[in-house]
Amino acid sequence: MAFLDLDRISVAFKKEQVLKEASLSVERGETVVVFGPSGGGKTVLLRLVSGVMQPDSGDVRLGGRSLLGAGPEQRDVGMAFQNFALYPHMPAFENIASPLRARGMAGDEIARRVQETARLLKIDHVLKHFPKELSNGQKQRTALGRALIAGPEVLLLDDPLRNVDAKLRYEMRIELPRLLKSFGGAVLYVTQDYKEAMALGDRVAVLLDGRFLQVDRPAEIYRKPADIRIARLFGDPTINLVPVKPRLGANGPEVDIFGSRVSLPAQTGHLLDRDCMLALRPEHIEVRTEPVDGGIPMELDAVTPLNVRTVLFLRSQDGREVLATCSEHEQGRFGRGHRAVHAAIDFGRALFFDPASGTLLPAAA
Amino acid sequence: MAELNLIAVDKIYQSRGKPPVHAVQGVDMRIADGEIIGLLGSSGCGKTSTLRMIAGFEEVSRGEIRLGTRLLNDLGPAERGVAMAFEGYALYPPLTVRDNIVFALLRAKTPRAEIDRRVAEIAALLEIEEILDRYPPTISAGQQQRTSLARALVRRADLSLLDEPMSQLEPQLRAILRARIKDFLIQHKMTTVFVTHDQTEALALADRIAVMEGGVLQQFATPADLKEQPANLFVASFIGEPPMNIMEAEVIESDIVVRTQRNEKAFILPAFPGDRPGDVRVGIRPHRLKVGTGPLQGQVVSNQWLGDQTHLGIEVAGVLLVAVTDGALSVDIGEHVPVDLPGDALHLFDAAMGKALRHGMGPVA
Amino acid sequence: MERDNLLVTILRGIALLVVGLFFLFPLFWVALMSFQTNEQILRIPPSIVFEPTLSNYWALISGRLVSNAGILEIKFMGNLWNSVLLSTTSVALALLLGVPAAYAFARFRFRLSEDIAFTLLSFRFAPPLLVLLPLSLYFQDIGLTDTYVGLIWVYQLIALPLILWIVRGYFEDISPDIEHAYRIDGHSWWKTFTRIALPLARPGIAAAALLSFIFCWNNFIFALILASADKQPVTVGALAFVTASGIQYGQIAAAVLLSITPTLLLALYAQRYLVEGLSLGAVKG
C-alpha cells in the first residue's frame, strides 16, 4: 500500500474529460514528477489532491485513508502555485507563517520556525517585505517556504519554476533535490520541462490522454519511451522520426533511409515488411567532415549552438530534415553556410514505433 | 546592404515629475552586411530601446545611426527599408494569417506568383501552413508569434529587426525552427538584429552578440569569445547554461585562496606569476571542471542525467560548483569524488569593478 | 515621438476651464444665493457683490421661518436626520446582504446563477415609477407606509444592485488560487472569506458603499410617495419651501447646500476609491 494513492481518478473540467481513470502511487520520501504538455490535466490533478476540487469518480488515499469529501483545510498538504498565490496584503513573514497560525502554534515558536525556513531558502532578509516588493525568485521561495513549513505529509509543487527567470530556474534545479530529500513526505512536482523532470524526479509519470501513459525512472523514460509522443517530448532537440519499412536484404535486415541503404541489427528481424516509425536521437548521429565507413552523405545547412552541445541541421539526400548534435568544442569545424558532410549513425540505438498507435515496438522479437 | 553603424548612441526618456531615465548609454556597434546580431540582456537593460531606435520608432537622443554613409536619425520607419517583427506580434485582426504575411509584399507590388511562392516557403519553414486561412484572434500565442515572424522574414528586407521573436514557441519546435531560421537568414544574406533575454536563443542564432546591462554595452563579440573571454563578471555569469561558476577569493602571494559564501577559507588554487594580490572573483565553466581525478575533494549534491549530458552539483569545502559531462556518471548524492580545477580553465575578475583580469593561461587582451 | 507643443497645452487648459465652469458654476451660484435674502436674489440685474447674511441658515437650523406672511415651522433639520438615518441604514443592510451574495456569484457556479444575478441587476434599469403604484398599495396593505423599515426595504432596490455589480467584479479579480492557498494552509472557509476575500476586495466594497450612499441620499420619488412629512429626507423636504406665500429661494439655496454637503465631502474624500471602484478592477494587478 503506497503512502499516497490516486486510484482511478476521473474528472471533467470545462466540459472536457481531463482525467480518465488515472492511477498513481507515491511512496513516502519519494518525488514523483508529473510531466506532460500544457492543458493536459496536471494542474487539475494537483487540485484534486489538495482538496480544492473533488473527482467525479475514483479515490485519493493518504496512508490508507480516503480523502474524498475532505476540504483542503482537513488534509495535511502543502502547495506551491505557479503564479505564487501569495497574500498581497501580508508581508512575507505572515505568508510563510500562515499554515502554522492555522494550526494554532505559539507566537515565538512560529517566529523561530519561519526564520529557520527563510534562512534555508535564503529569503531571511526580505521577511518584512510585501509580495509586490519581492522579485519573482523571492516570491517563489516564499511560496515554497509556506508550502513546506508545517511539514505536511504531501507536498504539491505546480510548475514552481515556470515564472522565474532562466538563471534562477537553473540554480533552483540544482538546489531543489537536496531540499526535497530532506523534506520526508511525498512530493508531487508538475512541470512541462523534461529537463526539470529528469533532474528532480525519482520517478516521472507522463500524463497524456488523461492517463499516466508511462511511470518510470527518468533515465528509463528517456531510453525507452513507451509512446512516440513521449519520445518527442523527452529530448532537446526533438528526436528524429522517419517512416521506414525494413526488408530482408543479402546480409540481414536492411532499410532505405536518407537516400541510402543501411543495415539494421539482426534483432530487428521481427519488424520485417512492417511499416514503422524509426526514431533517432540527435546525439546518436555523429557528423564528420570526411567520408567514413558506413556513413551517409548529407548536407549541413546550419549550426546552432545549444549551451553545452551544438545542434547540426542536416538535410538528407532524399530531402529530409535531420537534427544531430555534437559537443561544444567541435562546432568550430563546420563553419557557416552549406557544406557536404557524412553522418555516422548508430542504428543499434534506434527506437521503432508503430505508426498507427504510436506505441513502442519491442527491440527484439 | 551596407554597414549599419551605431555611433555613441544615447537614449534618454523624459517624463514629467520623474527623473530622466538614461536607457541607452553611449552604444557603439558596427554591423557588417549579412551579419546576424543578437541584443541580449535582462529586462530594462536598453536592448529594446536600441532596436526601436534602429527601426525609427524612437528618437535618438544623442549620437548617430548610419547605413553606409546615409544618416538614418531623421528618417521615419517607413523610409528606412527595414522589416520588423514586434514583441506583441501586432497582427492585423481583420486579415487572415496569409493576408497578414503578404501585406507588405502587396504594397511593394511584388508579382503574384512570387508572392505565393514565398508564402508557401515561409509557411512551411515556420510550420504555419495549416493556419494560413485563420484569423489572428483564433490562433494560439505561439502561432501568432510565428505569423508575425513570417510577415517580417517574407520580405527578405535589407535589414530585419526582430523583437523577442521566439519567446512563446513550444519547446519541441525551438531547436528545429532556430535551425531553419538561421539557414534562411544566411542563405538569403539577410542582415538581422534581434532582441532577446534568453541567452540560449542568442547563442544559437547570432554571429555576434551585444550583451547589455543598465543601458551600457558590456561586450560585443562572437558566442565563443563571450564564453571563453568574457569582458566582465556580468557577461561571465549571464552567458551559458549552466552559467560559469563564480567563486570569491583572494590572491595571496602565489596562492588563490577561495572562500565560501560565509567568508571561511575553502580551498587553494595555484596563482599565476602576473596575478596581483587582493580580492578577486574566480570563474570556471562547468564543462572544464574535472570530476574523478584531482587534488580537491568534493561531495555530490545533485546528479542530473538529462539524456545526453550530466549536470553535477558538487560541494567542494563548502563551495557549491556545477560540473557538466557528456555521458552519464554513476555517482550518488552524498558520495565524495576527487575534483580538479585546472589552471588554464580559470578566469580571474576584479572583485570591485568586475572587469576581467585573466582568462586561462594568457593575460587579458 | 510625443511632442506636446505650446498651442496644444493652452487649448487643453482652456477646454478644461470651460468644462469645469460649466459643471461648477451652478453650484457656485447656489452657494451665493444661500447667503442672500430673497430681495437680493430677485434683483435685476443680479450682482456678485452683496451683503452676505446668515438668516437663511439660521432659519433652517432653528426651524422657524419668519416671513412677511407670518412664522412658519420648518422641519429641515428633521429631514436631514431622516436622510442620514435612511441612507446609512440602507447601505449597511445592502452591504450585509450584498457582499456575501457578490462573493457567491463570483465564486460559485450554481444553476441559474447568471439569471438571478441579472435579475437583481435589472432593478437598476427599471424606472421607479413603474413599481411605485403597486408598491404603495402593497405597503398600505402590509402597513409599511410611512415607516423607516418600509423605506429602508425599498432603498435596497437602489443600493443592492450597485453593490452586487461592483463588488462581484472585485471578488472575481482576486485570483482563486490565493483563496485556495489559504485553505490549503488549514484555514476554514469562513476565515478565508473574512481574512482574504474581504480585505482584498476592500476598495471595491468602499466604492460600492459610497456610491450607494450617494444614490440613496439623492432618491426623491420613493420617499415622496411612500412616506409622509416626519419620515421624509431632505430631497422631499426641499419642497416645503414652495410655500403659499411665495418661493423662498434663499432658504432653498441654503437647504440645497446643506443637503449636498455630506455627499460632496464623502465623494471628495474618497474620490480615488470611486474611480478605482468604477473601473471594476479592469487592469490586472
Q: What is the CATH number of the domain that holds B80?
A: 3.40.50.300
**Contacting subunits of C (3+ beta carbon pairs below 8 A):** A, B
Q: How far apart are CA B245 and CA B259, in angstroms?
A: 13
One-letter amino acid of A315: R
Q: How far apart are CA B340 and CA B346, in angstroms?
A: 11
Q: How many angstroms separate the Cα of A97 from the Cα of each of A87, A137, B21, C189? A: 11, 19, 39, 18
Buried b (16+ CB within 10 A) or exposed e, C52-80: eeebbbebbeeeebeeeeeebebbbebbb
Q: How far apart are CA C113 and CA B37, in angstroms?
A: 56
Optimal mutation site among C178, C185, C191, interface A, most CBs of chain A within 10 A = C185
A100-117 tens-digit pLDDT: 999 999 999 999 999 999
pLDDT band for C284, please (50, 70, 90 cuts). very low
What pLDDT, on a 0 to 100 scale, did the predictor assign at position B99?
93
pLDDT band for C282, please (50, 70, 90 cuts). very low
C105-119 tens-digit pLDDT: 998 888 888 888 888
Contacts of B57 in chain C (CB under 8 A): 1
Query: Are residue B67 and residue B168 in the same domain, yes or no?
Result: yes
Separation in Å, CA of A306 to nearest CA in chain B: 6
Q: Is the pLDDT of residue C60 over 80?
A: no
Average pLDDT over residues C40-57: 74
B·C CB contacts under 8 A: 3
What pLDDT, on a 0 to 100 scale, did the predictor assign at position B364?
53
Q: Is the pLDDT of residue C283 over 50?
A: no
What pLDDT, on a 0 to 100 scale, did the predictor assign at position C193?
94
Query: Are residue B208 and residue B332 in the same domain, yes or no?
Result: no
Which CATH number goes with the domain that contains B257?
2.40.50.140
Optimal mutation site among A54, A82, A87, interface C, most CBs of chain C within 10 A = A87
Locate cell 545542434: which residue? A311
- Chain A segment 265-304 residues within 8 A of B by beta carbon are 281-283, 301-304
What pLDDT, on a 0 to 100 scale, did the predictor assign at position B152?
93
What pLDDT, on a 0 to 100 scale, did the predictor assign at position C2?
46
Average pLDDT over residues C169-191: 92
**Contacting subunits of A (3+ beta carbon pairs below 8 A):** B, C
Query: Are residue B74 and residue B93 in the same domain, yes or no?
Result: yes
Q: Is the pLDDT of residue C242 over 90?
A: no
Residues, chain A, total? 365
Query: Are residue B99 and residue B150 in the same domain, yes or no?
Result: yes
Q: How many angstroms separate the Cα of A338 from the Cα of each of A186, A299, A301, B182, B205? A: 52, 7, 5, 11, 15
Where exactly are the structural domains of chain A? 4-226, 240-353
Instruction: Compute the CA torsion angle B54, B55, B58, B60 (nearest 10 deg).
Output: 30
What pLDDT, on a 0 to 100 scale, did the predictor assign at position A286?
93
Contact assessment for residue A10 and residue A17, using Cβ atoms and an 8 Å cutoff: yes
Query: Are residue B192 and residue B251 in the same domain, yes or no?
Result: no
Average pLDDT over residues C85-95: 93
What pLDDT, on a 0 to 100 scale, did the predictor assign at position A23?
93
Choose the final residue of a domain: B229, B248, B281.
B229
Contact assessment for residue A239 and residue A232, using Cβ atoms and an 8 Å cutoff: yes
A322-363 tens-digit pLDDT: 999 998 888 888 888 899 999 999 988 999 999 999 999 987
Other beta carbons less than 10 A from residue A56's beta carbon: 13
Percent over 90 (pLDDT), chain A:
55
What pLDDT, on a 0 to 100 scale, did the predictor assign at position C65?
65
Query: Are residue B170 and residue B264 in the same domain, yes or no?
Result: no
Q: How far apart are CA A259 and CA A343, in angstroms?
A: 12
Q: Please, what is the Cα angle at A347 between A345 and A348, to 5 degrees?
A: 130
What pLDDT, on a 0 to 100 scale, did the predictor assign at position B202?
94
What pLDDT, on a 0 to 100 scale, did the predictor assign at position C61?
77
8 Å CB contact of B322 and A174: yes
* Range in A139-153, A262-276, B91-105 with the lowest mean pLDDT: A262-276
Pick the CATH number of A4-226 from 3.40.50.300, 3.10.20.30, 3.40.50.720, 3.40.1190.10: 3.40.50.300
Q: Does this complex have an ipTM over 0.90?
A: no
Q: Is the pLDDT of residue A195 over 70?
A: yes
DSSP letter, residue B20: P
CA atoms within 13 A on the CB side of B127: 12
Q: How many domains does chain B have?
A: 2
Strand order across the A16-26 sheet: A16-26, A4-13, A57-62, A65-66
Contacts of C190 in chain A (CB under 8 A): none
Contact assessment for residue C255 and residue C76, using Cβ atoms and an 8 Å cutoff: yes
8 Å CB contact of A332 and B224: yes
Cell reading at A216: 518510470
Which H or E element spans position C76?
Answer: helix C76-107
pLDDT band for C40, please (50, 70, 90 cuts). confident
Query: Are residue B258 and residue B205 in the same domain, yes or no?
Result: no
* Domain coverage including residue B285: 236-363
B230 touching A, CB under 8 A? no
Choose the final residue of a domain: B229, B244, B274.
B229
Separation in Å, CA of B60 to nearest CA in chain C: 10
- Chain A segment 177-236 residues within 8 A of B by beta carbon are 177-178, 181, 192-193, 195, 198-199, 218-219, 222, 232-236
Residue C18's contacts (CB-CB under 8 Å, 6 or more residues apart) are none
Could you report how far apart the first and last alpha carbons of chain C are, in Å?
28
Buried b (16+ CB within 10 A) or exposed e, B344-358: ebbbbbbeeebebbb
Choose the final residue of a domain: B186, B204, B229.
B229
Cell reading at A21: 481513470
Q: Is B163 helix (H, G, I), strand (E, B) or coil?
A: strand
Q: What are phi and psi of A84, to 5 degrees?
A: 70, -45
Locate cell 536492411: which residue? A254
Query: Are residue B73 and residue B221 in the same domain, yes or no?
Result: yes
CATH of domain A240-353: 2.40.50.140
Instruction: Compute the CA torsion angle A110, A115, A116, A122 (nearest 10 deg).
Output: 150
Query: Are residue B328 and residue B220 in the same domain, yes or no?
Result: no
8 Å CB contact of C189 and A47: no
Query: Are residue B261 and residue B200 in the same domain, yes or no?
Result: no
Query: Are residue B135 and residue B43 in the same domain, yes or no?
Result: yes
Q: How many angstroms separate the Cα of C44 from the Cα of each of A340, B280, B349, C47, C51? A: 103, 90, 88, 8, 16
What pLDDT, on a 0 to 100 scale, did the predictor assign at position C67?
62
Q: How far apart are CA B235 and CA B288, in angstroms?
A: 18
The mean pLDDT value of chain C amounts to 82
Q: Is C74 helix (H, G, I), strand (E, B) or coil?
A: coil
Q: Is B345 helix (H, G, I), strand (E, B) or coil?
A: helix
8 Å CB contact of C183 and A71: yes
Q: Which of C185, C188, C199 sits opposite A89 (nearest CB)?
A: C199
What pLDDT, on a 0 to 100 scale, did the predictor assign at position B271?
85
Contact assessment for residue B306 and residue A198, using Cβ atoms and an 8 Å cutoff: yes
Q: Which of B179, B223, B306 sits opposite A302 (nearest CB)?
A: B179
Residue C75's contacts (CB-CB under 8 Å, 6 or more residues apart) are C63, C229, C230, C237, C240
Average pLDDT over residues C90-113: 90
What does each of the 365 residues of chain B score in pLDDT, given as a tens digit?
Answer: 678 889 889 898 888 778 888 888 889 999 999 999 999 998 788 899 999 999 988 889 889 998 888 888 888 888 888 899 988 888 999 999 999 999 888 888 888 999 999 999 999 999 999 999 999 999 988 899 999 999 999 998 889 999 999 888 888 889 999 999 999 999 999 999 999 988 999 999 999 999 999 899 999 999 989 998 999 999 998 998 888 999 999 988 888 888 887 888 888 888 888 888 889 999 999 989 999 899 999 999 888 888 888 999 999 998 989 999 887 888 888 899 999 999 889 999 998 888 888 888 776 53
Query: Are residue B268 and residue B153 in the same domain, yes or no?
Result: no
pLDDT band for C50, please (50, 70, 90 cuts). confident
pLDDT band for C213, please (50, 70, 90 cuts). very high
Q: How far apart are CA B109 and CA C136, in angstroms?
A: 75
